[in-house]
Amino acid sequence: MTMFRVFLLSLLLFCCAACTGLPDLTQREASYAFNLAQTQHSRLGQRILPVLEEHLATSSPQQSAVVMLADAEQALATRLLLTAQADVSLDLQYYIWRNDSSGQQLLEAIYAAAERGVRVRLLMDDLHSRDADVWFAYLNQHPNIQVRLFNPFIPRFSRALGFMFDFSRANRRMHNKSFTVDNLATIVGGRNIGNDYFDRTDGFYFADLDVLAMGPVVNAVSDDFDEYWNSDSAYPYELLHSPANNPRQGPPNNDLADLVTPQQVSLDKLIQAKRWQWANVAMISDSPNKGLGTAAPEELITDALARAIGSPERQLLLVSPYFVPTAAGVDALATIAAQGVEVKVLTNAFATTDVAIVHSGYAKRRRALLEAGIQLFEMRPNNGSSDPTKTGAFSSSASSLHAKTFAVDQYRIFVGSFNFDPRSARLNTELGFIIDNQHLATQLAETFTNNVPYSSYQVLLDEDGHMYWLERRPEGTIRHDQEPQTSWFQRFASGFFGLLPIDWLL
């Protein structure tokens, strides 16, 4: 009898979910980024615009100013600083926003900005939105804050049922990350919002990379945000959650008394910093139509990435935490290497990846990549071989690599959300910058030479064709003949999943 009741309940849930559809968007209001005339008198405008005008008077009007945010603490401090300086607008687009001290501190700063009259538009992918759902409900009640969810799950009470009834759409996620203030400054890169991305936890920490930019490229990011915000996949929060279930109340209970305040920097020092680099910067992204599977080939970021990589003459450096090259990708890299180009790849080792099944899609291609002359490095966890206080993109103190970047011939780099895997190429929407700047590209090359060999395992083939992992430490070099820090079962599982035809999902 009990089993029969379970069956009836399951059938009822199935029928309810099947009958539930996405809300109607015909009454949704479109909105767009503010233009320069509306933001030039803001605090940011008064500081940034003179700097831009001074540079552009003697240089190309197409150039933007960029600075790398490799240090995790500085990446959070910069977001907090810009939010505190916002006078007109905040446009925020993220895949994950954790309900932890970092996420809460930023959300409190955003709420304070709205109280000052700043218009806030927060666009979140819905896959992980439950984590901070109580905050989104609270923020969305403010007259100056709008929250929208990209590709929301229906029914709302179960992600599993959402995948079951609409897998093709639900499997397509918005992986973009951007943080734009007053349409004058923007942060784009690989970091989500959470303690594990800002090195504020004693546990798992992702080494990542963002770019802070000002100049013409900011308008491109804002235009792209508008396209997503007004797309057929962006649903106002109130259409998905009944206001009756979210009565107006104070912010969710949280205790930030013991929160360590990030090292603060003044806005003037940030803008006048000598580390700013002026460059031709192109924003590239997928069309939001990709979220519905209706994007044309020319609307995909992969075309722009292929053009950016082009035909390297000397060197190609790839950094991707989830590296699943597929057979076609191996052939493409092999063709480049066969022309005498040095090709190096940094990805996660099995011991540092947070998605083990994705590693199987890479592991089965390792031998072919090595035989083609491609140099492979796998980031190892907390190796302690470098300065343990470093929290940069390839930090030795990190638990896992999360930065997504590449450099071509020491003159061009990419920084963004795109992983070199089929999911980024075919399913998820992505965003990033192509930056033509010799200084930044050379820095990445020097990092590969000076840091990566000592913070990762280098994968090699010996004279007999056996694969091994070389671990370089101050006290000496260690050879591993099996994948380091893995059990027999983990290696078996990786090999088994590598046999399955699931590359398109990885």
pLDDT of residue 247: 47
Catalytic residue among 128, 402, 421, 503: 402
* 175 in catalytic set: yes
Q: What is the pLDDT of residue 259?
A: 47
CA of residue 148 relative to chain centroid, distance: 19
Task: Say how far residue 62 (Cα) sits from the centre of its chain.
Answer: 26
Cα dihedral 164, 170, 172, 178 sign = negative
Across residues 125-137, what is the average pLDDT? 89
Reply yes or no on whether the pLDDT at 119 is more than 90.
Answer: yes
- Tell me the residue type at 499: L
CA neighbor of 63 nearest in space, from 433, 403, 405: 433
Tell me if 194 sits within 8 A of 103, measured CB to CB. Answer: yes
Mean pLDDT, rounded, of the chain: 88
**DSSP letter, residue 424:** I
Q: What is the pLDDT of residues 81-114, one digit of tens each?
A: 999 999 999 999 999 999 999 999 999 999 999 9
Q: Annotated catalytic, 177?
A: yes
- In this prediction, residue 243 carries a pLDDT of 60
What gap in Å lies between CA 140 and CA 152, rounded to an integer? Answer: 16
445-473: average pLDDT: 93
Note whether 174 and 148 are within 8 A (CB): no
402 catalytic, yes or no? yes
Q: Cβ-count burial of 472 within 10 angstroms (0-12 exposed, 13-18 middle, 19+ buried)? A: middle
- Integer Cα distance of 179 and 333 in angstroms: 33
Which one from 125, 133, 182, 196 is the annotated catalytic residue?
182
**What tens digit of pLDDT does each residue of 284-299 get?**
999 999 999 999 999 9
Q: How many CB atoms lie within 10 A of CB 491?
A: 14
CA separation for the pair 386, 407 (Å, rounded)? 23
Closest CA to 95 of 169, 192, 163, 167: 192
Contact between 146 and 140 (Cβ < 8 Å):
yes
Say whether pLDDT at 434 is over 70.
Answer: yes
The residue annotated as part of the active site, out of 210, 359, 404, 421, is 404
**pLDDT score at 388:** 38
Q: Output the pLDDT for position 339.
A: 96
Catalytic residue among 177, 290, 344, 359: 177
Domains and CATH numbers, the chain: 283-505 (3.30.870.10)
| pLDDT confidence of residue 305 | 96
CA nearest to 371, candidates 299, 439, 445, 466: 466
Q: From residue 77, how far is each of 15, 101, 114, 300 by CA, in Å?
A: 48, 13, 19, 33
pLDDT digits (tens, 9 = 90+) for 300-317: 999 999 999 999 999 999
pLDDT of residue 394: 59
Q: Which of 71, 100, 175, 199 is catalytic?
A: 175
pLDDT at 124: 97
Pairwise CA distance, residues 378 & 319, whole Å: 10
Residue 390 confidence (pLDDT): 47
Residues of the chain with pLDDT > 90: what percent? 67
Catalytic residue from among 126, 224, 286, 409: 409
What is the C-alpha to C-alpha distance for residues 383 and 215, in angstroms, rounded to an integer?
Answer: 39
Please tell me the distance from the alpha carbon of residue 376 to that of residue 287, in angstroms, as a whole number: 32
**Beta strands, E only, 133-231:** 145-150, 178-181, 185-189, 206-207, 210-214
In the annotation, is 404 catalytic?
yes
Distance CA 396, CA 117 (A): 42
Determine contact, residues 347/374, Cβ cutoff 8 Å: no
Q: Which residues contact residue 447 at a Cβ distance below 8 angstroms, ignoring those fewer than 6 apart?
A: 393, 394
Check pLDDT > 90 for residue 52. no
Averaged pLDDT, 249-270: 55
Largest CA distance in the chain: 82
pLDDT at 103: 95
pLDDT at 275: 76
